Amino acid sequence: MAVDLSECLTSLRLPGVKAVYEELAEQARTEHYSYEQYLAEVLEREREERRQHRIERYLRLSKIPLEKTLESFDRDRLPAKADSQLSMLLEGSFVEHAENVLAFGNPGSGKTHIICAVGHELIYQGRRVLFRPCDLLVQDLLAAKRELKLAEVLKKLSRFEREVDPVVKTEFFEK
């Protein structure tokens, strides 16, 4: 039976279930889980594994520098107003409202780092983000237009919920 179940899980593409079902079955027997509890635990593990893989994939596709996260940024550097604006951005509500986010400030003030950190947080919320400097995005679009592939490139870009652009910026860091 275990071989049939393993083959079944492989064909159904349930690697998370396949990895833990035996261990959890033993735990369920010793702790007297109901069938529903066992099934819920197994499926929760599958869901969490898929969520982790999705985040990894979204991070890879986003092209956001992996080292520029909220944890690696010193929020104490920010003025109080900018810090409260950052907290609002981290919620991600600007995406639902299709609002643009612009950050202005002196070179080296952390604009790109903060934009990347917001992008990371959006990805952890399950959103698809593309990090692309404005000049490179425009170059890509012009090349696609020249090669008569603009519709194809725009379709690819439409898969992302928001393009995060460190070149186009707002009063975020003004003092």
pLDDT score of 3: 62
Dihedral class, residue 130 (left if φ above 0, else alpha if ψ from -120 to 50, else beta): beta
Q: Would you call 171 helix, strand, or coil by DSSP?
A: strand
User: Across-strand partners of 171?
Assistant: 103
Query: What is the third-level CATH fold of 75-164?
Result: Rossmann fold (3.40.50)
**Least confident interval from 48-62, 97-111, 134-148:** 97-111
Alpha helices for 63-166 (secondary structure H)? 80-91, 93-96, 111-124, 134-146, 150-157
Mean residue pLDDT of the chain comes to 84
pLDDT tens column, 155-164: 888 877 644 4
Q: Phi and psi (nearest 5°) for 169?
A: -135, 160
Ranked by mean pLDDT, the top range of 10-14, 145-149, 158-162 is 145-149
Domain with CATH 3.40.50.300 in the chain: 75-164
Q: What mean pLDDT comes out for the span 101-130?
A: 88
pLDDT tens column, 29-67: 999 999 999 999 999 999 999 999 999 999 999 999 999
Distance, first Cα to last Cα, the chain = 68
pLDDT score of 168: 38
